[in-house]
A and B are shown apart, each in its own frame.
Chain A
Amino acid sequence: MSATLVISQLLNGIQLGVLLFLMAAGLTLVFGIMNFVNLAHGSLYMMGAYIAAALVGQGVPFVWAGLGAMAGAALLGFVLERTALAKLYARDHLYQVLATFGLILFFNEVVRYFWGASAVYMDVPAALNGALTFMGINYPFYRFVIIAVGLGVALALYLIIHKTRLGMLIRAGASNADMVGVLGVNIKLLNSAVFALGAGLAGLAGFMAGPILSVQPGMGEPVLILTLVVIVTGGIGSIRGAFLGAIIIGVVDTLGRTFLPIIFSWFLEQSLAQAAGPAVASMLIYLLMAVVLALRPQGLFPVKHG
Chain B
Amino acid sequence: MKRDRAFWFAAATLAFLALLPVYAALAAQPFYVTLFSRIMVFALAAVGLNLVLGFGGLVSFGHALYIGVGAYSVGILAHHGITNGWVQLVVALAMVALFAAVIGAVVVRTGGMTFIMITLAFAQMGFFLAVSLKQYGGDDGLTIDARSAMGLFDLANNTVLYYVIFASLLLTLYLFHRFINARFGLALRGIKANERRLAALGYPTFRYKLVAYVISAQVCGLAGFWLANLTKFAAPSYMAWTVSGELIVIAVLGGMSSLFGPVIGALVFLLLEEVLSSWKPGIWPAAETLLGNHWLGLIGLFVFTLALFARQGIFGYLAGKKDSAGGH
Contact = CB atoms under 8 A, between A and B. Distances in A.
Given A84-B308, A293-B110, A106 B300 contact: yes
Interface in A93-123: 93-99, 101-110, 112-113
Interface in B109-162: 109-110, 112-114, 116-118, 120-122, 124-125, 128-129, 131-135
Given A31-B113, A113-B294, A293-B118, A97 B61 contact: yes
Contacts of B53: 94
B265 to A, nearest CB: 12
Given A87-B308, A103-B304, A108-B296, A289 B110 contact: no
Contacts, number: 137
B186 to A, nearest CB: 22
Given A97-B61, A225-B241, A236 B113 contact: yes
Contact of B118 (A93, A113, A232, A283): A232
Interface stretch (B77-85, B167-175, B244-252): B244-252
B121 A99 contact: no
B303 A101 contact: yes
B98 interface: no
Q: Which DSSP category, helix, strand, loop or mixed, fits chain A's interface?
A: helix
A160 B296 CA distance: 40
Chain B: interface residue count, which band? Answer: 35 or more
B179 interface: no
A105 B106 contact: no
Given A101-B303, A286-B122, A93 B248 contact: no
Interface in A272-305: 275, 278-279, 282-283, 286-287, 289-290, 293-294, 297
B24 to A, nearest CB: 30
A54 interface: no
B114 A232 contact: yes
Given A88-B307, A279-B133, A293-B118, A113 B110 contact: no
For the complex of A and B, the 9 pairs showing the least CB-CB separation, nearest first, are A109-B297, A105-B300, A102-B303, A106-B300, A102-B304, A99-B307, A98-B307, A286-B125, A282-B128
Given A101-B249, A106-B300, A286-B124, 19 more contacts: A37-B117, A84-B308, A87-B308, A98-B306, A99-B307, A99-B308, A102-B301, A103-B304, A105-B300, A112-B293, A228-B118, A228-B120, A232-B114, A232-B118, A236-B113, A275-B135, A279-B129, A287-B125, A294-B105
Interface of A: 31, 35, 37, 84, 87-88, 93-99, 101-110, 112-113, 221, 225, 228-229, 231-232, 236, 275, 278-279, 282-283, 286-287, 289-290, 293-294, 297
